[in-house]
Amino acid sequence: MRVRSPSASINSGRRVDAASAQNRLISVTLDENSIGRGSADQEHERAIAVYDLIEDNSFALVGHSGGPYALIISLMDAKLVFDVRDESGASVITHILSLTPFKRILKDYFLVCDAYYAAIRTATPSRIEAIDMGRRGLHNEGAQLLAERLKGKIDTDSDTARRLFTLITALHWKG
């Protein structure tokens, strides 16, 4: 799954400054060998996360003045791989992160997501809202952990970290 931004200098219909145009992702690819087919809900979540991430993000490599960047996200030996490339596709750097710190959050997140997807079909609006609040809380916790694990390597804002965490969960949704 790969999506490319139509223009690195336009962001959601507004002009961005030169630093913002450089410190961003212009394409994101989920490694097809790392992901399984998900449910329709999960596939929809993936597509939205990739689209939203490309449309509005802040992504800067610490100590690197290049950019904009292309990102390939994959799993290798139970580790998260961020393969960062320049606009032309040349490799800039690869960061490999242990997924061990994410295990509890991912497990809890998937349990809540399963409950949420079941609830949206049959539960009352108040029940759905309660489950969704829990889901969003775990999502925020995962995004914060990701930002901490990337500290000193990749600078992101909280919205970018949230969208990246969504894509990390996509790598674990084995259909």
136 pLDDT band (50/70/90 cuts)? very high
Distance separating alpha carbons of residues 24 and 22, to the nearest angstrom: 6
- DSSP annotation string for 114-137: HHHHHHHHHS-HHHHHHHHHHHHH
Q: What is the pLDDT of residues 24-60, one digit of tens each?
A: 999 999 887 877 666 777 778 788 889 999 999 999 9
CB atoms within 10 A of CB 127: 14
pLDDT (0 to 100) of residue 17? 56
Is the per-residue pLDDT at 174 higher than 60?
A: no
Tokens standing for residue 142: 């995962």
Closest CA to 24 of 54, 65, 3: 54
Asked if residue 19 lies in contact with residue 39, where contact means CB atoms within 8 angstroms, the answer is: no
Q: Residue type for 25, please?
A: L
pLDDT (0 to 100) of residue 2? 45
Closest CA to 50 of 26, 84, 80, 75: 26
Enumerate the domain spans of the chain.
2-172
Tokens standing for residue 59: 């992504």
Q: Cis before residue 68, ω within 30 degrees of 0? A: yes
Q: What is the pLDDT of residues 84-95, one digit of tens each?
A: 999 999 999 999
Tokens 């509890």, located at residue: 104
Average pLDDT, the chain: 85
Kindly state the average pLDDT of the residues 85-111.
94
Asked if residue 16 lies in contact with residue 26, where contact means CB atoms within 8 angstroms, the answer is: no
Q: What is the pLDDT of residues 29-38, one digit of tens each?
A: 988 787 766 6
Strands 69-76 and 25-30, bridge-based pairing: parallel
Phi and psi at 120, nearest 5°, equal -65, -15
16 pLDDT band (50/70/90 cuts)? very low
Kindly state the average pLDDT of the residues 71-87.
93
Asked if residue 43 lies in contact with residue 37, where contact means CB atoms within 8 angstroms, the answer is: yes
Tokens 């961005």, located at residue: 16
Question: Alpha-carbon torsion 66, 13, 169, 90, what sign?
Answer: negative
